[in-house]
Amino acid sequence: MTSLNPQFLLRTPRLRSAIKSTVSAVNTPLAKMRARRAFAAAPRPMKLEIGGLLPRDGWVITNVNATTRNYLDCTSTWPVEDAAASYIFSDNVIEHIPLAAGRAMLAEAHRVLQPGGVIRLVTPDIKKHVELYLAGSASTQTDVAKEYRDMGLVVEHSIDLIRIPIGSFGHHEGYVYDFDVLEQELKRAGFHSVVQCEMGESEHEALKGIDFRLAQEGAQIVVEATR
């Protein structure tokens, strides 16, 4: 009998999904417990990252992926007391969830931040993508187009620069933003002083240099708002 190549099995979508589901089922309860412990142990006010992938000194990093250390569903009530955080950072999370869930996330962020605390959001900027589309075929030679090609995505026509931020990465199941929409939603949640920032830049020392999508600056929007 011919044995199956393990690498082939891992490339099989159905098997990969089954493995991910199994790992998630085992890890999630433990990760929820670790998150509660991390929240309890963190000095007040804490710095909290939603959807983080890598450790960051002085921050509590959370996610919902199958192997996360600290599990936090940002669309439900967070197991953290009011005014517990000084900073919240979330990079490419809010576009993955529907509008109502995004509003729940922003409401919880507002509750958990202390007065004067700041949230920093990074998400694909639909207005920038529309501008690239309207620029015509020349936009297929921009740094944004190159970055998407480097991800293995097809960019043949300017329309792809509209299709990708909406139809790829699961964003079609969430909600997409430009500055005006983010500003309205943040103010709806109770935030004020909503400002657009350059990638990697901030008036707040704790938020400087924490962005990691520098190559995607032409496709992303960075917004900060104050509690």
| 81 CB-contact burial (10 Å; exposed 0-12 / middle 13-18 / buried 19+) | exposed
Specify the pLDDT at position 2: 45
Specify the pLDDT at position 214: 83
d(CA 146, CA 148): 5
Split the chain (227 residues) into runs of 10 and give each run's mean pLDDT. 50 72 87 98 98 95 96 98 98 97 98 98 97 97 95 96 93 96 98 97 97 87 98
d(CA 39, CA 80): 7
Q: Where are the domains of the chain?
A: 27-124+177-226, 126-171
Q: Does pTM surpass 0.85? A: yes
Specify the pLDDT at position 154: 97
Specify the pLDDT at position 208: 97
Domain 27-124+177-226, CATH: 3.40.50.150
From 176, 181, 225, 179, select the one nearest 203 (Cα to Cα).
225
Give per-residue burial for 197-224: e unless 16+ CB within 10 Å, then b. Answer: bebeebeeeebeebbebeebbbbbbbbb
